[in-house]
Amino acid sequence: MVMDHGIINDKGKINSTLKGELYTSPTIFKLEKEHIISKSWILVGFAYEVAKPGQYITTRVEDENILIIRGKDSVLRAFLNVCRHRGAKLCSASSGKTGAIRCPYHSWSYSLDGSLIGVPNTSHCREELVHNENYALDSVHLEVWHGMIWINLSENPLSIEESLDTQILERFGELNTFSRYQIQNLEVAHRKDYEVEANWKLIVENFQECYHCSSIHPELTAALPEFRSGVGTQNSIGTGAKFDDTLEAFSINGKGSRPMLKGLLPEDDRTYFGMTILPLVFINLTPDHVIIHRIIPISAEKSKVICEWLFDPEEMAKPEFDPRDAVELFHRVNLQDFEACEWCQENMGSQAYKEGGILVPIEQHVSHFYNYVLEAIGMKMKVE
Ligand code: FES
Ligand SMILES: [Fe+2]
């Protein structure tokens, strides 16, 4: 399918945004689900949550219920959470631990590696069903990358390195900076879920530009004064933003109450890095914690965002540990960002936005995201 999305390019000075209908059309949303979300690595949790055999988490990606469970052989696997008998959802809890996967409907049971091991009251066809790989649970590609669990619904996904390391390289020019935050050794101390009345792309493009920072983020620009210029850290390779001189930590009161994460270098102190892992994840690195956002597109005009604050579990075990100072800062940023996205969403169907809006020069890099989306869904591009 080739369509003209209407981007103009005035010799590289001004690019238009996507047209309004790209943010409202159920048809476009369906194309994005089919060609972007169903083919990308999607963050669904953390390996420490399913560290022991039998531990599982469940989630929903696109139109699929997914079960992620560690086998008796300690291998972590992902399956469609769908009974092969008559399709019942096998595990309804968001997490748990089990010795076998038993369907609540007619009690078919599956081993932790997905093979069918029990079919009650079927003596005449039991032999045909049990341990027949045709009736095993449908498996889904799963990889653990820096301690985060990612699944991919496509049959032949790009390798996780090709897909995600490439984005780290684009952001930092190398892999070491990201690696030394050792996300695989951190745990979630706090989670907030946000219902956002906005298309997922508005949330991504908002995170990718800092032109809005001085208008709507007083706390963030107080912490990171260079953001007042409208130039964020994602504009240039390897760049982090330095804290204001008065700040000890990336927290609402600026006070430092935790040591730097293990493995960081002196130059990482008082520095913030933000990055996007397309299509649906943002990662913020700070000296004593990491903040990870996952966007869950619900419809063309609605999204959910899960934001999690990760810390060193050794710090979390201390009686005086209290993450609220860190949580409050980015929680406020989140509320400000999501409200801004909603201001836009409401007008995406307006006649005034039929041909889209414009990007000023310090937002131009957002057009790379537009191109990523348009190319994936088969629409014609006019700009670099
Ligand atoms: S639907 Fe699962 S056992 Fe019948
Ligand atoms: Fe923002």
- Residues 36, 34: Cα–Cα separation, whole Å: 6
Tens digit of each residue's pLDDT (9 = 90 or more) over 180-196:
999 999 999 999 999 99
Provide the residue ranges of all domains of the chain, joining segments of one domain with +. 15-40+160-377, 42-152
Which of 128, 145, 90, 89 minimizes the C-alpha distance to 112? Answer: 90
pLDDT of residue 127: 81
| pLDDT at residue 130, as a whole number | 84
Cα angle: 270, vertex 169, 145; to 5 degrees: 85
What per-residue confidence (pLDDT) applies to 3?
36
Instruction: Provide CB contacts within 8 A for 60, sequence distance 6+.
Output: 66
- Beta carbons of 301 and 225 less than 8 angstroms apart: no
Low-confidence ranges of the chain (pLDDT < 50): 1-13, 383-384
Q: Among the atoms of ligand 1, which is closest to the Cα of residue 103?
A: 2
Site to probe by mutation for ligand 1, drawn from 105, 126, 129 as the one with most ligand atoms within 8 Å of Cβ, is 105
Class for the domain spanning 15-40+160-377:
alpha beta
> At 65, which helix (H) or strand (E)?
strand 64-70
Which residue has its alpha carbon closest to ligand 1 atom 1? 86
Give the neighbor-by-neighbor strand order of the sheet with 241-242.
Answer: 187-196, 302-311, 290-299, 281-285, 271-277, 241-242
Cα four-point dihedral sign 170, 171, 176, 179: negative
Four-point Cα dihedral 42, 43, 45, 51, nearest 10:
80
Ligand 1 center from residue 74 Cα (angstroms): 26
Determine the pLDDT at residue 363. 87
Strands 139-145 and 76-80: antiparallel
Angle subtended at Cα 24 by Cα 18 and Cα 30, rounded to the nearest 5 degrees: 95
- Dmax over Cα atoms in the chain, in whole Å? 77
Helix (H) or strand (E) holding 80: strand 76-80
Ligand nearest to the CA of 274: 2
Residue 6: the pLDDT is: 44
Alpha-carbon distance 160 to 166, whole Å? 9
Q: Which stretches within 213-306 are classed as H helix?
A: 213-216, 218-223
Query: Dihedral through CA 335, CA 338, CA 343, CA 345, nearest 10?
Result: -160
| CATH topology (fold) of 42-152 | Rieske Iron-sulfur Protein (2.102.10)
Cα distances (angstroms) measured from residue 326 to each of 250, 275, 285: 6, 18, 12
Testing ligand 1's pocket by substitution, the residue of 86, 116, 137 carrying the most ligand atoms inside 8 A of its CB is 86
What's the pLDDT score for residue 131?
A: 84
Distance CA 112, CA 70 (A): 7
Q: Find all residues with CB under 8 Å of 166, minimum gap 6, and list them.
A: none
Residue 267 CB-density burial (10 A; 0-12 exposed, 13-18 middle, 19+ buried): exposed
What is the token pair recorded at 85? 């008998």
Tokens of 158: 């790009």
- Decide: 97 in ligand 1 pocket, CB within 6 A: no
Per-residue pLDDT at 239: 82
